[in-house]
């Protein structure tokens, strides 16, 4: 007798996505509970996160007992952000959790982290082109002095000398974390004439340089790249090793007048050290789509009030076209799970991604 596999989706699926998952194998018993847990999220997550990630009218569905029963029966859960913080406690039969986002650090808040459950991410399958375009827009914002027109409008006069525009062609960009996002950043930056170097944890895994890169080094090469880089784009995972990777020492090592862009996680940057570097005019500007504690509070005033800082609410992956490949990754892994083969993007709890 073929054993069924109870798959619970706590993310909203469209009909095509449901059909794609159900077509994997007759053993798959899919339950679509997208939106059912929204009320719980409002009660257990910070109000700031609820306002950011939930529809204003979302209250959830079913009773607590019904939701507990769904989790208790699930062998596989497809989730996103937010998610039930007590997921492991309530899902006793859970063997595998797949999260739609790419960042493993999203799971640090719940009881799943470090558990016996296999967890996978959609690393490399997000809207990486949108994020690369955001990074490119950010460097143009500062390279061409586009922060000044709003001030001039308020003052009622132009300040011609404030712009100090840069020519992008020929400038050097350092991509910190040349994974799925970083590779697309490198390709796009090279397309506008920039010299692109980058780092990744295991550069030796690449037989060939990624498109657009002229050099790819390991973490130890960052110190060598920073003094010559006009733009530094942070795309790496947040792990114990990368926490405050950019501290006072590394900001001091950066080229005078350079720009830093962070589309990864706020915790990778020492925000006080960044503010210091900006206030003493060592850096031309900073583009931050992320900041420490972004799910529970507004950005730190010291950065948000500085005109040399462009802060956005984690929207770099958004666009008018949804090119997110999370469901494709999930389906590929579901096939492997059923066949008892290794899955891709499995989180190493010790490594942090």
pLDDT for 23-36, tens place per residue?
A: 999 999 999 999 99
**Does residue 261 form part of some domain?**
yes
Instruction: Write down the pLDDT at residue 252.
Output: 98
Given a cut of 60, whether residue 241 has pLDDT beyond it is yes
Q: Are residues 233 and 193 in the same domain?
A: yes
d(CA 135, CA 269): 16
CB 123 within 8 A of CB 179: yes
- Angstrom CA distances, 316 to 85, 129, 132, 136, 262, stand at 26, 10, 8, 11, 10
Domain hosting residue 113, numbered range? 5-125+324-338
Query: Which of 283, 349, 40, 318 minimizes the C-alpha distance to 143?
Result: 283
For residue 1, name the pLDDT band (cuts at 50, 70, 90): very low
Over range 74-93, report the average pLDDT.
96
Compute CA 295 distance to the chain's CA centroid, rounded to the nearest angstrom.
Answer: 13
DSSP secondary structure letter of residue 59: -
Q: Is the pLDDT of residue 204 over 90?
A: no
Are 258 and 229 found together in one domain?
Answer: yes
Q: How far apart are CA 4 and CA 322, in angstroms?
A: 32
CB half-sphere exposure, 208, CA atoms < 13 A:
3
Instruction: Determine what percent of the chain is predicted with pLDDT higher than 90.
Output: 88
CB 212, CB 233: distance < 8 Å: no
Residues classed as catalytic: 265, 296, 314
| Pair (120, 132) in one structural domain | no
- Could you tell me if 162 and 252 lie in one domain? yes
Q: How far apart are CA 84 and CA 291, in angstroms?
A: 23
Residue 67 belongs to a domain with what CATH number?
Answer: 3.40.50.720
Mean pLDDT value of segment 45-67? 91
Residue 326: the pLDDT is 93
In this prediction, residue 330 carries a pLDDT of: 97
Summary mean pLDDT of the chain: 95
Say if 160 falls within a structural domain.
yes
Pairs from 105-114 (Cβ < 8 Å, separation ≥ 24): 105/237, 105/238, 105/239, 105/265, 105/267, 105/352, 105/353, 106/81, 107/83, 107/347, 109/85, 110/83, 110/84, 110/85, 110/86, 111/85, 111/86, 111/87, 112/87, 112/88, 113/349, 114/349
Considering the domain architecture, whether residues 138 and 121 belong to the same structural domain is answered as no
Residues 6+ apart with CB under 8 A from 246: 234, 260, 268, 269, 270, 273, 274
pTM of the model: 0.92
- 277 plus 151 within the same structural domain: yes
Examine residue 83 and state whether it is found in any structural domain, yes or no: yes
- 91 with 167, same domain: the answer is no
What mean pLDDT comes out for the span 153-162?
Answer: 95
Cα–Cα distance, 344 to 353 (Å, whole number): 12
Percent of the chain topping pLDDT 70: 99
Q: Where does residue 237 rank: exposed (0-12), middle (13-18), buried (19+ CB within 10 A)? A: buried
Mean pLDDT of 187-213: 93
Within this chain, do residues 110 and 240 fall inside the same structural domain, yes or no?
Answer: no
- Is residue 343 one of the residues assigned to a domain? no
Q: Are residues 74 and 181 in the same domain?
A: no
Pair 112, 180 in one domain: no
110 found inside a domain? yes
Number of folded domains that form the chain: 2
**Is pLDDT of 14 > 50?**
yes
- Separation between Cα atoms, residue 295 and residue 132, nearest integer Å: 23
Q: What integer is the mean pLDDT of 130-154?
A: 96
CA distance 202 to 206: 8
Say if residues 75 and 6 touch (Cβ distance below 8 Å).
Answer: yes
Same domain for 87 and 228 = no
| Whole-angstrom distance, CA of residue 337 vs CA of residue 332 | 9
Domain membership flag for residue 353: no
**Which pLDDT does position 2 carry in this prediction?**
53
In a domain? residue 211: yes
Residue 182 lies in a domain: yes
Q: Categorize the per-residue pLDDT at 79 as very low, low, confident or very high, splitting at 50, 70 and 90.
A: very high
- Mean pLDDT calculated for residue range 181-199: 98
Rounded mean pLDDT of 81-85? 95
Residues 176 and 306 in one domain: yes
| H or E element at residue 333 | helix 326-338
Under 8 Å between Cβ of 268 and 234? yes
């Amino acid at each position: 007798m073929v054993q069924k596999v109870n798959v619970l989706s706590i993310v909203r699926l469209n009909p095509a996505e449901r059909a794609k998952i159900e077509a994997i194998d007759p053993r798959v018993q899919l339950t679509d509970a997208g939106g059912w847990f929204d009320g719980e999220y409002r009660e257990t997550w910070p109000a700031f996160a609820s306002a950011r990630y939930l529809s204003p009218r979302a209250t959830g569905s079913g009773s607590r007992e019904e939701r507990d029963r769904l989790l208790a029966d699930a062998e596989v859960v497809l989730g996103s952000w937010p998610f039930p913080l007590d997921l492991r406690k309530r899902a006793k039969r859970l063997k595998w959790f797949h999260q739609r986002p790419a960042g493993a650090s999203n799971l640090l808040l719940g009881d799943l982290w470090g558990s016996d459950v296999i967890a996978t991410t959609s690393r490399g399958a997000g809207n990486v082109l949108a994020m690369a375009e955001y990074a490119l827009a950010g460097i143009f914002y500062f390279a061409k002095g586009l922060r000044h027109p709003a001030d001039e409008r308020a003052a009622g006069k132009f300040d011609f000398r404030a712009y100090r525009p840069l020519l992008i062609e020929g400038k050097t960009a350092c991509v910190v974390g040349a994974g799925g996002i970083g590779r697309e950043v490198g390709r796009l930056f090279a397309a506008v004439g920039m010299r692109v170097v980058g780092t990744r944890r295991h550069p030796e895994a690449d037989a060939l340089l990624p498109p657009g890169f002229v050099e790819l080094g390991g973490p130890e090469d960052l110190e060598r790249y920073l003094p010559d880089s006009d733009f530094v784009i942070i795309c790496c995972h947040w792990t114990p090793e990368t926490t405050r990777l950019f501290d006072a020492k590394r900001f001091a090592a950066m080229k005078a007048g350079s720009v830093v862009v962070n589309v990864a996680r706020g915790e990778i940057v020492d925000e006080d050290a960044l503010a210091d570097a900006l206030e003493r005019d060592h850096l031309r500007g900073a583009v931050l789509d992320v900041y420490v504690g972004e799910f529970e509070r507004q950005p730190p005033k010291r950065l948000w009030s500085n005109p040399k800082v462009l802060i956005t609410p984690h929207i770099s992956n958004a666009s008018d076209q949804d090119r997110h490949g999370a469901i494709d990754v999930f389906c590929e892994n579901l096939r492997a799970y059923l066949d008892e083969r290794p899955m891709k993007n499995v989180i190493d709890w010790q490594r942090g991604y």
